[in-house]
Structure 1
Amino acid sequence: MQASLKLLTRRKFLPLFSTQFLGAFNDNLFKTAMVMLVTYRIFSDNRLEAAFNAAANALFILPFFLFSALAGQLADCRDKAWIIRIVKTVEIGIMLVGASGLLLQSVPLLLTALFAMGVHSTFFGPIKYALLPQHLDSDEVLGGTGLIEAGTYGGVLLGIIVGGIIPAEAAAATVLAVALVGRIVGQQVPPAPPVIEDDSVDLHVVRASIRLVSETLHVPRLFLAILAISCFWMQAAILGTLFVPLVKNVLGADQEVATLFLAVFSVGVGIGSVAINRLLGGTVSARYAPAAAILMGLFLLDLHHVAEHWDAPDAMVGWKAFLELRGAKHILVDLFGVAMSGGMFVVPLYAFLTTTVDKLHTARTVAANNIVNSGAMVMGALLFAALIRVGVPVTGTLLVVVVGSLLAAAIAWRLHRAADRALSSA
């Protein structure tokens, strides 16, 4: 772990880490501030609020379907550091629109900025992982991936907290300031010239997406890795959707406790992301992924048991009163265990994804993974909505995620065996 942390002192890694952290922070600060503004100051109708949240989620995910193939092609045939500078420059313009939406309380401006931030994340996504094997030594890639994931979840956590407690006017100034700082930091990322001579780019996004996914998934190891990662993100989408209704309608707690849940979850994923590097000793391997998925399922099963037998208070309670309730600490331990296991599961798979292919195809492989992951996230959210609609209680949806953990473990085990066979025949 100490060797991994030393990467934070090196220019080949620190600017990329900082740029990613600032981007995750700004994304979540803006999204949280937007939701708070719309929910508490613009709309006062449950149906309108639900429609807005559905539209917002769709608009943010849509760019990953539309532009991931294009983003992967550009990352492979252009200097990645140059693309980072372009993307971070565009972020300043996006946040000008977003800040205007927050100040003017304009839903169209807010949704426009949210969609544009989805585009921003789509083009930055392949780069942050494709840069690692290009800038780092082979024994540093896993540690770097873990730090990137930990930094991302740290940025997400901080953005959610700050966006939820500051007024919209302060949020408008903050997102613009962070975008400016992100551009300055992004300028420090060392050059990462293209490793592919073919600089042609297919601008037909549908055709390019279909071809990219089909070309990637026909490789058994890549197919299994992407499938396992997508299974994780489907579970994460369901968990992220059920946190608030679980806290409010089952546990009888307020927004403070929902924020506490998000904080514990983010910290758990971050710790799991870094800790797995220590277990693997810097070696890129999926050997612990099946056990991590099973452990995640066990924590979820225990969380379901505690929630099913929860004695909700008569009135909504804050975080201090919640912690005094019987079983509250038990639930937080389960939540932390789920998150830590998830981090230990997914980080080696991302490292495997970026190191098992030739550097010529790293960014496109990550882009193909993003397309499939986005589809899995949408399916997870729709599955949760469908289950609630047919009368399944919120606690019951936890069992669906448990089944997903068993599926993820089975896929990860097949991936581990396939990787071992590939190494033995090499």
Structure 2
Amino acid sequence: MSRQETSAAAADAPAHPNQFALLSQRRFAPFFWTQFAGAANDNLFKFAFTVMVTYQLQVAWMPPSMAGLVIGALFILPFLLLSATSGQLTDKFPKHRMIRFVKDLEIGIMLIAGIGFWIESPVILLACVFLMGMHSTLFGPVKYAYLPQVLRDDELTGGNGMVEMGTFVAILLGNVVGGLLVALPQIGHASVAVACIALALVGRLMAQGVPVAAATDPGLQINWNPLSETWRNLKLAKGNVVVFRSLLGISWMWFFGAVFLSQFPSFAKEVLHGNEHVASLLLVVFSIGIGIGSLLCEVMSRRQVEIGLVPMGAIGMSVFAIDLYFASRSLPAAPLMDIGAFMSQAAHWRVMADLLLLSLFAGLYSVPMYALIQMRSQPTHRARIIATNNILNALFMIASSVSAGALLGAGFSVPQIFLMTGIANAIVAGYIFFLVPEYLLRCVAWVATHLVYRFKVEGAHHIPTSGPALLTCNHVSFVDPILLMAASPRPIHFVMDYRIFRTPLLGWLFRLCKAIPIAPQKEDPAVYEAAFARAAQVLREGDLLAIFPEGAITRDGQLQEFKGGMMKILEQAKADGLQVPVVPMALSNLWGSYFSRVEPQGAMTRPFRRGLFNRVTLRVGEPLPPEQCQPERLQQSVRSLLDR
């Protein structure tokens, strides 16, 4: 089943100005408020229970210092045990039915929890913690598998940003409301019970409005063995290298975030010398940062899945985690302060700025990765891939707790743990980008099209979102491939003059993106034939292939004669039984810039020849069938794009 077949509703949806407009559309709004209510309820219940057993009840077998750890571990346990099964259920059954079933389950759990709060029974409430973990385990794959089924590709980043923002706002509100309600004299426990049941009912009401979302693999046979199914899902995820390493990247982000979230209470008390309200303030700042970063993704990505934001996010996470160490390592001892006294000291503003910015960059880091996984995963297996992500997230969060505990036991301070986490993040991110250079390449493309040129793309919807295609463009400068890369939501393989690979820095960059060097047949027959063989393989694998039919960068700014090499590529594709559309493209207003060949100085001389932020346009024409793509006809198509 293709993405087009599973996304009819998305294709028919009206265009909208920004991600917030999704809240007015039925395909998104009921789902958003359903997951918002669920996240708020999870955290209201858990935090109220934690406060109750920490401050209000004397439970001999669960001392206050262990309460948070026990509750957190019980909540995470179902993710390890049941994620594999929940992924199968989500692929097998319609998403709207799964959502409503999970919300029905939540109502039942909260009724039991209400009894637990009423009679002040830690045993009942601990059982409900496990059950709510199971509820979240079932909802997780639905949450991320539903979005690509109802949103267009250009809406995925914005939709994921809204969900991430909503989740963290719901977590924040749930913690605040849970803490306030449970502290009410005499009626606190009953108030928490009523609030939990009410939120479950609201979530179920919202779920009723979620539109029909068909099953993606209704014939799937459920494997109820979680161990064998988890192993099978891991192998399934590893089949797509970019997706699997993105799963690891997201799981690392949860490791990183869990270090900070788990240390906020002790950081606030022992380092910042603030009371419990200061600890809550840190959580508020962290949540706001995640929300802002998540929402910025659509603005910064031109409404496409822009994984070039991921390296920026990783850099920001490390920079501000390390600066948090320097901002907090030498704060003088003082009596515990309330929020007013804490905010009155200028040194504390740097601490809050670091927390805000590191969490903002964490949002930039995670949202494109989620969107990439949704877009690149096979629709019939998408929920199981996301279930695998949930398992990995849980394992990394457990590893985070164990690592932080071991460092604290070894005598490290909380700021030193933040410092080590920031350094470790830089090392892990560098390793991921080395393994998957597409992230780094897209980052370079994003910088070039936002900070070097004012880049505009017209007709980007003509670039096929699936299947093989041959992209043909005029050749104006050494950075043409980078600009084409920025315009496409999918990776592009480029056939390029072998001499470009000798260019300092750019040559390294093009080798990194596995561009295909080609030489004239008379000059190097082996390189010539190897280039066409590799080009044929790219198309057979269903990927995008780009060529510059002029054969070399123009020296006078004019469109040169198109060579016949592309005909050989199309003939081989036809022999392989492929129908490969040809997409004409035209770059304009780039001639005369630093990276173009301008006589007599040549390329890459006089850096400010055209100035920064030079306006550059890429126009993409309608795909042409291969039988209509003689060099002269295609050259005319590109010329007409240039003349617009």
Q: Using a 3 Å threshold, how does the CA distance of structure 1 residues 158 and 2 change in structure 2: closer, same or farther?
A: farther
What is the identity percentage for the equivalent residue pairs of Structure 1 and Structure 2? 35
TM-score (norm 1): 0.96
Match of 1:122 in 2: 137
Equivalent position to 1:23, from 26, 32, 38: 38
Match of 2:426 in 1: 406
Q: 1:357-372 residue pairs with structure 2 within 5 A? A: 357-372=377-392
Match of 1:96 in 2: 111
Q: 1:222-301 residue pairs with structure 2 within 5 A? A: 222-301=243-322
Match of 2:404 in 1: 384
- The answer as to whether partners of 1:387 and 1:397 remain within 8 angstroms in 2 is yes
Match of 2:393 in 1: 373
Deviation for aligned residue 1:46? 11
**Structure 2 residue 199 is matched with structure 1 residue 178:** yes
1: CA distance between counterparts of 2:417 and 2:58? 29
Which has a greater percent of helix? Answer: 1
1: CA distance between counterparts of 2:290 and 2:438? 26
- The answer as to whether partners of 2:54 and 2:67 remain within 8 angstroms in 1 is no
- The answer as to whether partners of 2:322 and 2:423 remain within 8 angstroms in 1 is no
**Structure 2 residue 156 is matched with structure 1 residue 141:** yes
Match of 2:28 in 1: 13
Q: Point out the more displaced range, 194-203 or 114-123.
A: 194-203
Q: Which amino acid in 1 is paired with 2:342? A: F
Match of 1:334 in 2: 354
Q: Using a 3 Å threshold, how does the CA distance of structure 1 residues 25 and 415 change in structure 2: closer, same or farther?
A: farther
Q: Point out the more displaced range, 24-33 or 45-54.
A: 45-54
Match of 1:309 in 2: 330
Q: Point out the more displaced range, 190-199 or 134-143.
A: 190-199
1: CA distance between counterparts of 2:265 and 2:364? 24
2: CA distance between counterparts of 1:307 and 1:44? 35
Match of 2:98 in 1: 83
2: CA distance between counterparts of 1:412 and 1:287? 13
2: CA distance between counterparts of 1:54 and 1:332? 26
Q: Which amino acid in 1 is paired with 2:222? A: V
Q: Using a 3 Å threshold, how does the CA distance of structure 1 residues 312 and 47 change in structure 2: closer, same or farther?
A: farther
Q: Point out the more displaced range, 329-338 or 50-59.
A: 50-59
Gaps in structure 2 of 5+ consecutive residues: 1-15, 183-188, 442-489, 494-537, 544-644
Deviation for aligned residue 1:193? 1.0
Deviations 1:83-106 (A, max 9, x none): 111110010110111122222211
2: CA distance between counterparts of 1:408 and 1:28? 30
Q: How many residues get paired?
A: 425
2: CA distance between counterparts of 1:371 and 1:215? 14
Deviation for aligned residue 1:35? 0.6
Deviation for aligned residue 1:411? 4.5
Which has a greater percent of strand? Answer: 2
2: CA distance between counterparts of 1:395 and 1:208? 40
Deviations 1:360-399 (A, max 9, x none): 1111110111111110000001101111111111111102
Compare relative contact order (CA 8 Å, sep 6+) and give the higher one, 1 or 2: 1
1: CA distance between counterparts of 2:155 and 2:435? 22
Equivalent position to 2:492, from 419, 423, 426: 423
Q: 1:215-226 residue pairs with structure 2 within 5 A? A: 215-226=236-247
2: CA distance between counterparts of 1:12 and 1:122? 23
Deviation for aligned residue 1:23? 0.5
Deviation for aligned residue 1:405? 2.0
Q: What is the Cα-based RMSD across aligned positions, in Å?
A: 1.7
Gaps in structure 1 of 5+ consecutive residues: none
Q: 1:60-71 residue pairs with structure 2 within 5 A? A: 60-71=75-86
Report the structure number with the largest CA radius of gyration: 2
Q: Using a 3 Å threshold, how does the CA distance of structure 1 residues 12 and 408 change in structure 2: closer, same or farther?
A: farther
Q: Which amino acid in 2 is paired with 1:379? A: A
Equivalent position to 2:417, from 377, 397, 402: 397
Q: Which amino acid in 1 is paired with 2:412? A: V
Deviation for aligned residue 1:40? 0.6
- The answer as to whether partners of 1:286 and 1:415 remain within 8 angstroms in 2 is no
Q: Point out the more displaced range, 44-53 or 259-268.
A: 44-53
2: CA distance between counterparts of 1:370 and 1:38? 28
Q: Which amino acid in 2 is paired with 1:185? A: M
Q: Point out the more displaced range, 48-57 or 227-236.
A: 48-57
SS at match of 2:63: helix
Q: Which amino acid in 2 is paired with 1:286? A: I
